[in-house]
Amino acid sequence: MLALRRRWLKRWWLITLALWASVGVVSIWSLRRTWQQLADYFTWAALRYGLAFNRLAAIGLGLCLGLTVALLVKQARFLLFGLTAAERQDLIKALNKRQT
């Protein structure tokens, strides 16, 4: 059962890496002028306006960061507390489906 969970987790990390390699790189590249300006003088207002005027890039970075943080939180919760009853049932269903 834990091997199946490990496989699911590996799949999610591959999806996250693919998202960073595609959407994340394009988003960071489209914000290159903002990064250059922030390198000269960093202010939170400059960061906020840089993201506000580049909405697609901000959405792309938010998606990448959100999925990464969600995976890290879920993995930390698993390491600290183990599987929940719902996750255990989902894994058992998937295992039974796989065996038949």
Would you say 23 and 57 are in contact if contact means Cβ atoms under 8 Å apart? no
Q: Is the pLDDT of residue 6 over 80?
A: yes
Amino acid at 39: A
Whether 73 shows a pLDDT value over 90: the answer reads yes
| 60 CB-contact burial (10 Å; exposed 0-12 / middle 13-18 / buried 19+) | buried
pLDDT tens digit sequence for 74-91: 999 988 998 888 888 888
d(CA 1, CA 6): 9
Residue 100 has pLDDT above 80, yes or no: no
**pLDDT (0 to 100) of residue 17:** 97
pLDDT at 29 over 80: yes
